[in-house]
Structure 1
Amino acid sequence: MTTHKHNSKFKTLTAWVLQSLLALSLAYGGVMKLTIPIDQLAQMWPWVVQVPTIVVWGTAILDLLGAIGIVLPSLLCIKPQISRWAAFGILLLMLSAIVFHLVRGEATVIGFNIFMIVLTLILLRLWKS
């Protein structure tokens, strides 16, 4: 009985750590894309000068929505299944980013996207069990 209770607490803690990492990463990227001038962003992410600014802002909004959606519903215990849907949205966003970079011949920059996918898949697996 105590092993099951301990295991459940570990899963819950692990899920919250993963949710927090995902949310912080997405929020950081989203805020950067919205607040740092494009020419400065281009020093870190050269692709931003090669797409319309609305695309950069659009991805920023999606990042912020993912950050909010992965944490807030679970935290407030208001329709926590929304956090699962946000996780699927994050998967789609990261897969889209991978395709975007691969089409442009930028395979060397997809590591972060793959890392985010792995974290999200682990989180979804924890929620399933």
Structure 2
Amino acid sequence: MTVAYWIVAALLAVFYLYAGGKKAIQTKEQLQPMMAWVDTIPMPLVHTIGVLELLGAAGLILPPLTGIAPWLALAAAIGLSLIQVGGAALHLSRGETRQIPLNIILLAISITTAWLSTTWLN
């Protein structure tokens, strides 16, 4: 289970480092071609989501790696799952049904990561 956790958590962390980094530092104009939804969301909220994604990515890797508060990996995975639920709801409200499969895939991976992170709680 440990190897499975590291594979899944690393893939998820890389995705969120990229996506969260973009949301945290780029302007609305830079994000708009890739994320049309930034039109309707205040940029401070978009930046906050990006920072939360970056913190979630760090939370998946650093606590189990250092052995300090390894339960934070579970909290990070749950937090990233909640971000995907919110993302799916936003896309649904905007009629962007073609975007929802990515949210569902990331939600499933986040939930799997949460389950696998219970390895550190033993």
Q: TM-score, normalised by structure 1?
A: 0.84
Larger radius of gyration: 1
2:2 is the alignment partner of 1:12: yes
Which deviations, in whole Å up to 9, do the C-alpha atoms of 1:38-79 show, x marking residues without a partner?
Answer: 212101111112221112111111111111111111111111
Aligned residue pairs: how many? 119
> Which of the pair has the greater relative contact order for Cα pairs under 8 Å at 6+ separation?
2
Gaps of at least 5 residues in structure 1 are 1-10
What amino acid is the match of 1:108?
R
Select which of 79, 86, 103 maps to 1:96.
Answer: 86
What amino acid is the match of 1:17?
I
Give the alignment's Cα RMSD to 1 decimal: 1.5
- What secondary structure is seen at the aligned counterpart in 2 of 1:51? coil
Alignment partners' CA distance in 1, 2:12 and 2:101? 15
Q: CA deviation at 1:124?
A: 2.8
What amino acid is the match of 2:8?
L
Between the aligned residues of both structures, percent identity stands at: 33
Alignment partners' CA distance in 2, 1:123 and 1:32? 23
**Partner of residue 34, structure 2:** 44
Which deviations, in whole Å up to 9, do the C-alpha atoms of 1:83-110 show, x marking residues without a partner?
Answer: 1111111111111111111111112112
Contact 2:24 2:47 in 1 (8 A): yes
Which stretches of structure 1, 4 residues or more, deviate above 4 A after TM superposition?
none
Select which of 16, 19, 25 maps to 2:15.
Answer: 25
**Partner of residue 118, structure 1:** 108
Select which of 76, 91, 101 maps to 2:66.
Answer: 76
